[in-house]
Amino acid sequence: GPMFLISEICTQGMQLAGMKRAEACFAGSAVSGYSTGFVAALSEYRKVLLSQNVKVPGGGTWTYSEILKYRHIHGINIVRRLNGAGIRNGLFDSTFFGCQHLYQQRGMSPGSSYGLAAATAVLLGYSLDMAVKQQMVVPPNKTPESLTTLIHRLYQGPSFLRAFIDAHRGINPKIIEFSINYSMIGVSSVYILYFCNKLIGSPSPA
């Protein structure tokens, strides 16, 4: 998909700049993830407002024009949401593609390395994802709290361990879903590469 294509383009760009492949996977994917997350954030923001039944001032429904009409007064707040989504996606993509490369370098199969890398990315980015979602529930005519404030609140409690468990209560289904989906992508990539090599007459990978 576009996520893999744009990540590879940015990764190769980092390699041309002098980075080794492993470093380039982390850095290039962070750039591509942030860019795609920022661009797609407005659509995501609208979907969250609609799904959470956030009321529109004066009635009506949340359209793109309704959201953007607040850009002159609350433009920085809208950008803050887009930036948060970009950071979240950048963290996920950087962790996923970087770890997948490292895992496969250590002998894991494509299916296993993709699945474990996806689980790693979900775990590391879960708190940030929760904070971004909390920002997006706030309508565009109001100022959302900062990501650092929201993340800090997730871990407030009598003990860090208890707060960590409570903050990650819904993570298991997401880890399972992402691990299975990305494992299937990893397995299918082997066959796609094999058939592409057959078409162009190149030897299949070992």
Of 87, 34, 89, 45, nearest to 67 by C-alpha is 45
What is the average per-residue pLDDT within 179-188? 92
pLDDT band for position 204 (cuts 50, 70, 90): very low
Q: What pLDDT shows up at residue 162?
A: 85
d(CA 98, CA 29): 8
Residue 206: name the closest of 104, 115, 58, 132 by CA: 104
| Predicted confidence (pLDDT) per residue in 31-72, tens digit | 999 999 999 999 999 999 999 999 998 888 899 999 998 888
pLDDT at 206: 42
Contact present, 77 and 141 (Cβ < 8 Å): no
Is 206 or 2 the better-scoring residue by pLDDT?
2
pLDDT value of position 163: 85
- Predicted pLDDT at 205: 46
Report the mean per-residue pLDDT for the chain: 90
Q: CB under 8 Å to 130, separation ≥6 — which residues? A: 150, 151, 154, 167
Give, in degrees to the nearest 5, the angle at Cα 67 between 61 and 73. 135
Confidence grade of residue 201 (pLDDT, cut at 50, 70, 90): low
Is 30 buried (19+), middle (13-18) or exposed (0-12) by CB count in 10 A?
Answer: buried
Residue 60's alpha-carbon distances to 52, 63, 72, in angstroms, are 15, 9, 20
Give the DSSP H or E segment for 147.
helix 147-154
Per-position DSSP letters for 81-124, written without gaps between them? HHHHHHHHHHHHHHHHHHHHHHHHHTT--HHHHHHHHHHHHHHH
State the pLDDT at residue 144: 92
Q: What is the pLDDT of residues 110-140, one digit of tens each?
A: 999 999 999 999 999 999 999 999 999 999 9
The pTM for the full model equals 0.87
